């Protein structure tokens, strides 16, 4: 197995471990935070879990898509700049549009995050 495959395998395993840790510790964190007061059922509802996971997925997927687009467009932009240096502004615009994908995902995640009910 070459270094690139090994890196991606370790990165994937690390992400799985983080997701499982967060997923199984959410209930423990909620019960610890609400131990001093009476239990609140809507805070621990499936809707809350779905909103939190949707916010995380919107950020994660949009950033991965943006990174892939920047890699592809950036590589093509660099090779095009070697031939025509006057096309810098157009090529920079393409890279910025690819970066905007991550910003859109962040905006959607913030909108979802504000809809998560709080116990207070």
- Alpha carbons 50 and 9: distance in angstroms, whole number: 28
Q: Residue 117, SS3? A: coil
Residue owning tokens 């090529």: 91
Q: In this structure, which CATH number among 3.40.50.80, 3.40.50.300, 2.30.30.100, 1.20.20.10 belongs to the domain 46-115?
A: 1.20.20.10
Residue-range domain boundaries for the chain: 1-44, 46-115
Given a cut of 70, is residue 119 above it in pLDDT?
A: no
For residue range 84-110, list pLDDT tens digits in order: 888 888 888 888 888 888 899 889 988
Q: What is the pLDDT of residue 40?
A: 54
């Amino acid at each position: 197995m070459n270094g690139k495959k090994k890196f991606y395998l370790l990165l994937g395993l690390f992400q799985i471990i983080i997701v499982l840790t967060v997923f199984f510790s959410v209930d423990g964190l909620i019960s610890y935070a609400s131990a001093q007061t009476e239990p609140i059922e809507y805070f621990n509802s499936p809707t809350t879990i779905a909103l939190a996971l949707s916010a995380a997925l919107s950020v994660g997927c949009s950033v991965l898509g943006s990174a892939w687009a920047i890699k592809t467009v950036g590589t093509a932009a660099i090779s095009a700049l070697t031939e025509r240096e006057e096309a810098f502004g157009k090529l920079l615009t393409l890279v910025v549009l690819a970066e905007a994908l991550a910003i859109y995902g962040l905006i959607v995640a913030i909108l979802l995050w504000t809809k998560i009910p709080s116990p207070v």
